[in-house]
Chain A
């Protein structure tokens, strides 16, 4: 009980600070004057980040700046008064429905796109109430009627395969109602895992399922959240797409968005806005303002009438590991997973899909136990080529399944899905190597691999 009260009065402060604050009857949100040999300073006591060092009190000065003032045995504090804690409240703008507009369902799972700054502590807090959404991005009301639902409030690194399954079930449920598309606001860290998992878990997708995130939270004027959300809702409303796709800014400019296939997309920059890139294929299309342009002719078209036929696979396996191969790697790594009861392993191998010889005994054990081992490439671009070198042939002989040009993370979600819904080793092997949702392409066009460095335009063609 005492601890709970302390949490409220001294949130984030450590023992030495708390002791001195208590001595002078100081609590959070008190206006105080701190007297020391170096003069006096006045401010309002703020909550403190729990990782910040002990021995300071954090105050907001009259000029708006925050500073930390050291506390020691010579410090004297005078309490001047108390101010109400800063709290954020929002005007709730509930938009009346417009019969002439399509209807889109917006599911919140957490992440930057559904969060904003806590103005007192600087922490990023979830925020996804419909009222707040329309207050922040009023343009949405002109595109479609939007129904929102908060499914999770998790940073995406904390989402699990089980969450993907629940999300897929939710989508199937929603598809039975009168909607034109679904938008899922998701943290960007594992957004492409979720898009791939949903691509495998959903059957007969007939409306756009658009995953969207943001790299800058909406409390920043330069945020990409609003633009990405507007793009995603527009695609969900009217794009002729019946697939799971990802929509994020296509360049560093607040200009157009790219539409990526859910199984061929990857986060390629830790912080840039245009972080999501299609790998091995071009994006399916782009969106600028309310205009959608398609780059690909191989897009599954929308079939809204049949949306009620959407179904979901029943299960997902969580005991799957994704292992990055590296020089000097030993079999004990794989042994650990096998001993821990893992049901399937995906490797991101070097080059064409190789592992060091030191792995062979452990691989044999796995094969004998009928644990599927799926190989992908660390290079991200290109196919496994496990007939080219002796080592590739040896690995195949040990049961390693070439994953063709599946991206490692995509292969991981596919393994989770396959193991959850199929039992026999041979069947699992078959679905893993068969294209299900565009994750394996029959070939790669020259413009599927493009990483420009900004110098190409300076190089003139050779005579």
Chain B
């Protein structure tokens, strides 16, 4: 992070919005499964065109109108077996799912919300096509709650809404957007905090705590994309800016920090402008066609554009000399801000302005610039912009530039921005005040009885941070391990297993977290492992059927053969042990066959030979790590011995294999130890 800022002094105000998918069986308003279909090919595609609707004042919604005028269409992709006519807006909504309401009520209880006793489903219009109906169904379920931070500060939770997720964007081809409707209608809660957060780290902690609290219910989705967060930032004298698409908690402090700097810079610009003898009214939409001057320019893209019959237009911005070149974020100047807006709204590639090095950057000639300055009547304190465009795009771009320059006199314009990985963010769309909400005509109000609310309130568990403290103390564990259990949804399993095997809490945790990560990395399907497997495993451990070193091996076998018993799995491992006795022979043979390769490539031969070895042994039969270390050993030995491999030596080796048998037979026991160690290192 850049220079330090006294956030209190600048009057930083932050609010957070978190969208969290619920892990219910069905979607919110239809009985389709609450499940994404990943990369599965859709069964059908349907083309739709959405029209802007007339709003309360009898005028079209501006955003929708501009989308419509672009002439775009949407193609919805769906499945016959897991999406229905509701998602495609061919059937009115079914009854709101009770399980979803219960989960939302539980979340409300955790945030100590007041509950709305009669929910009214509302429509929130969407202009991007991501909802086939053109609007999302959403309802307020709770208001005025709070969240405790570690230091005891309370952050207000303004609202919790229960709503439908939108369809997921697959691609955009020309003017057509493709959306997959498997995600459409998946229940979400939207949680909004009050703007009580005054420090970037506090914002991160708030987001983190909300996430932990949600996960602790064990009733929310955990996959990538199931939690999405937006942040709202403003400083004194600035405006509310919404930053969308914050994918990682770690981004939050830097995004806020950068936004504070940006708003400060924009306020500085405002002060500079207001000291000058110009006013917003001096910014006139007064474009001049400069195409003639640049007819023979050396600037390639301008030349090409003029050839395509586009216009090269200039416009004076009086008093703005130096303003466009002022940096507002690392590597982003005021000019970049204007250009971003032009890109998004008018669809142009960008704009050229006189705070840039026009000769070097664009290859314009001094004459061209001199003529431009003369034609536009540019004085020392003026700036000019150059645009290559035509038709509606040009008109829109000019409007955008004039408006943005006028806004510079006021300071920070309200807008929605898209977070980028480098901690900066770019213009996404105008914020445009409150999103219009309309009552949904297809659904009756939903009554929530006092008994129902009371019942859910009485049954919520302890707070996750209390659990972390309690478990860390009780079992002498690192608090982060307990936190992992909560985040991964393994708390219930841990409690069951620790009751059976209280001797070694660390082993229980490792088994249900780290060992699974190892198997997952080996590309084993760990979803085949059910709680019953772990119960059997720990029962076996207690009865001495297996040693703890064999646990990973048993789990590995169960991922392939989930139906077999512990004893059978153990037997299977035994089979592998005999396989292993043959292993040295196999490796030996392989090495002999590939003498030439080893001679030329030395240790570099391990890679290609490993592939062959895996084929011979069978993928997954033996831990890849064991194979590669053995192979490396054999090759290493060979290299160190020089190239002497007489028949004699061969027999010697073969004899030798008898001895290591014992050692190898122990290897499955030894292996897990090794693996666990590596993991420990990574932790």
Contacts and interface: CB of A to CB of B under 8 A. Distances in A.
Interface of A: 38-39, 41, 49, 52-53, 56, 58, 61, 63-70, 86, 88-91, 116-117, 119-124, 132, 135-136, 216, 218-223, 226-227, 251-255, 269, 271-273, 454
Contact of A88 (B49, B56, B91): B56
A116 B114 contact: no
Contact of B52 (A49, A89, A221): A221
A218 B54 CA distance: 8
Given A68-B445, A89-B58, A221-B52, 14 more contacts: A39-B114, A52-B445, A53-B447, A64-B436, A66-B439, A67-B116, A88-B58, A116-B54, A119-B439, A135-B54, A223-B51, A253-B46, A272-B91, A454-B80
Contacts of B444: 52
B51 A90 contact: no
A461 to B, nearest CB: 22
Identify which of A56, A132, A227, A252 gathers the most chain B CB atoms within 10 Å of its CB. A252
Q: Which residue, B47, B90, B135, has most C-beta atoms of chain A within 10 A?
A: B90
12 contacts: A52-B444, A58-B120, A64-B122, A66-B120, A70-B118, A88-B56, A90-B58, A120-B439, A220-B53, A222-B134, A252-B46, A254-B47
Q: Is the interface of B mostly helix, strand, loop or mixed?
A: loop
Chain A binding surface SS class: loop
B139 interface: yes
B120 A67 contact: yes
B452 interface: no
B424 interface: no
A64 B437 contact: yes
A454 B447 CA distance: 39
B498 to A, nearest CB: 39
A68 B120 contact: yes
Contacts of A226: 51
Contact of A135 (B43, B58, B64, B144): B58
Contacts of B507: none
Nearest to B132: A222
Given A38-B114, A67-B116, A90 B54 contact: yes
Contacts of B59: 91
B565 interface: no
A218 B53 contact: yes
B48 interface: yes
A122 B441 contact: yes
B301 interface: no
Given A63-B140, A222-B48, A91 B441 contact: no
Nearest to A121: B439
Q: Which of the listed residues B54, B85, B444 has the most CB atoms from chain A within 10 Å of its own CB?
A: B54
B523 interface: no
B114 A221 contact: no
A3 to B, nearest CB: 25
Contacts of A116: 54
A64 B138 CA distance: 11
Contacts of A216: 89
B117 interface: yes
A38 B113 CA distance: 10
Contacts of B134: 220-222
Contact of A219 (B44, B57, B438): B438
Contacts of A454: 43-44, 80
Given A124-B441, A271-B90, A272-B90, A63 B58 contact: no
Contact of B140 (A65, A86, A220): A65
Q: Which of B47, B89, B159, B435 has the most CB of A within 10 A?
A: B89
B439 A271 contact: no
Contacts of B101: none
Contact of B118 (A39, A63, A68, A269): A68
Contacts of A218: 53-54
Given A88-B58, A221-B64, A253 B80 contact: no
Nearest to A274: B90
Contacts of A227: 49
B117 A69 contact: yes
Report, nearest first, the 7 A-B pairs whose CB atoms are least far apart. Answer: A221-B134, A68-B118, A122-B439, A90-B58, A64-B437, A66-B120, A221-B50
Contacts of B140: 61, 63, 65, 67
B187 to A, nearest CB: 17
A39 B50 CA distance: 42
B133 interface: yes
A221 B63 CA distance: 12
Nearest to B54: A136
A64 B435 contact: yes
A271 B143 CA distance: 35
B438 A86 contact: no
Nearest to A53: B447
Given A38-B114, A65-B140, A89 B120 contact: no
A38 B116 CA distance: 11
Nearest to A275: B90
A159 to B, nearest CB: 22
A135 B50 CA distance: 16
Contacts of A86: 56
B88 interface: yes
Contacts of B439: 66, 117, 119-122
Interface string B440-473: 1100110100000000000000000000000000
B299 interface: no
Given A53-B447, A253-B48, A271-B91, A65 B441 contact: no
Contacts of A67: 116, 118-120, 140
A67 to B, nearest CB: 5
B450 to A, nearest CB: 9
A12 B150 CA distance: 48
B92 interface: yes
B125 interface: yes
A65 B161 CA distance: 10
B367 interface: no
B117 A220 contact: no
B139 A65 contact: yes
Interface in B150-179: 159, 161
B434 interface: yes
B139 A63 contact: no
Interface in B90-146: 90-92, 114, 116-120, 122, 125-126, 132-135, 138-140, 143-144
A221 B53 contact: yes
B135 A220 contact: yes
A117 B438 CA distance: 9
Contacts of A122: 438-441
Given A65-B122, A117-B438, A254 B92 contact: no
A70 B135 contact: no
Nearest to B439: A122
B373 to A, nearest CB: 43
